[in-house]
Structures are given as C-alpha cells and as structure tokens.
Amino acid sequence: MAGTRVAVVTGASTGIGEAIARELAHRRWHCVLLARRADHLERIAGEIGGEWEVCDVSDRAQVDEVAGRVLERHPAIELLVNNAGVPARGSFLDVDPEVIERAIRINYLGGVWCLRAFAPALHAGAHVVNVVSVAGTVAFAPAGAYAASKHAQLAFSRSVAALLRPRGIQVHTVMPGFVETEGFPQRTKLRSPFMRRFVIEPEDVARAVVKAIERGTPEVTVPWFPYRISTLAQAVMPRIFSRLVTRRAGEHRDGG
C-alpha cells in the first residue's frame, strides 16, 4: 500500500461518517472505519475496499487499544475524521442525566481520545477534521445538552488547530446544520416549514469535508445560509437572539 493515503473515520457505520468514508474512497483514500456496529462496518468496508475496527470512542482504553492495532498496520495517517456523535434531546432540567453524560463522552471527549491516540501517526501535511455542528455556535434550550457538548467540541477543535499548526498539521472544523440521518430524523422533528427547506443530506457534508481538506479551509458552515446568520446573530446580539429562539422553542427538537 505504498503511496496510499490513509484516513481514519469515526462514526463510520451510518450517516455522515459513512458518506465521508465513501467520498474519500471515491477519491482514492484508503479508509479505516471506526464505530460500534460491526455488521454495518464490515459491509461498508467491503464495498469501499477499506478496513474496520469496532470502537466506542467514549471508552478511552478501547480507543487506545484500537489505535494501537491500526498504527501497527499504518504507521502514517494522513487524515483523522472525528465524526462520531449522538443526539441529546431535552433541556438540562428534564433530560435523563445519562443522556447529558453520554453526549459529552461521545460528542466531545471521543474526539479528544481519538486525537491523542492517533497523534503519533500524524505528521506534517496531515489533516484532522472535526465534524462539529451549528449547535456548537448557537445555544438552544430544548437541546441544551447536545449544544453544550458541541460547544465543547468546537473549543477543542479550535484549540488543537493552534496546537498542531506548528507541526504542519491542518485542522478543519466542519459545522453542518440540520442533516437527515438515522440518529437525527430532522424532517420529521422540525415543525418549521422554513427550516425544513434547509435540511441537507450526509453526502452534502461529505463533499464539504473533502473540499475543506483540498482548499485548506479552517472552518466551514454547511450550508452557509441560514446557519451562518444564526451564528453571527448569537455572537453579535445574544439577548435578542435568545428571545427569538425561546419563542420558537417548540419548533426544533435538536441540532445538526
């Protein structure tokens, strides 16, 4: 496999992760797929000519063990995609505490553990992609636990971008809006006809990831409109934005 570019993709058994793996394979990347469902991983890896490892990214010991096996086969990794994520519907006052903890362990800490485990194989010219969410820039009460985990992930991504830049490793933060996936059935959860118009597919995110890598773009919002507007409104007019989303609290159930 000399000369082959190797990518590790987490959460690759379905949705955005699967779409990213397929898009990368189409562009001649050799993908190592990580997720918790062996049957899905085996099927996808067989279809794209990749490899797979069962891995729960919230389990630090398991991540280290899996990374050790992968690095024995591939001592140089050109791309790490931290994509694994779970929904966390409900407010901080009524959601099950385990939902809050699970979101933090997978959505935020999963990326931390994966970066630490695979860092020895990342060298100058490599890339790290963190699939965050617009929810990482917009606080929304009915999905507070999810938004908080994504805010943490965004801070992590920006921090490691500065940390790894001197080593010649580029970090890309990709922030999708509402995406229709197995875990996030947005078209049935969104009450607003306006917002349903902007629900995108996993393949849209996959193409945005590849484009960010090829162009060296540090942060990408997918699609730009209307989500980037919401991000700017939260930052520039937090009080007005908070009142607006409070009035519309019943229209959305979760972030992208």
Active site residues: 146
The two tokens of residue 182 are: 């197995």
Q: CB neighbours of 40 closer than 8 A, spacing ≥ 6? A: 13, 14, 18
Q: Which of 40, 192, 34 is nearest to 111 (CA)?
A: 34
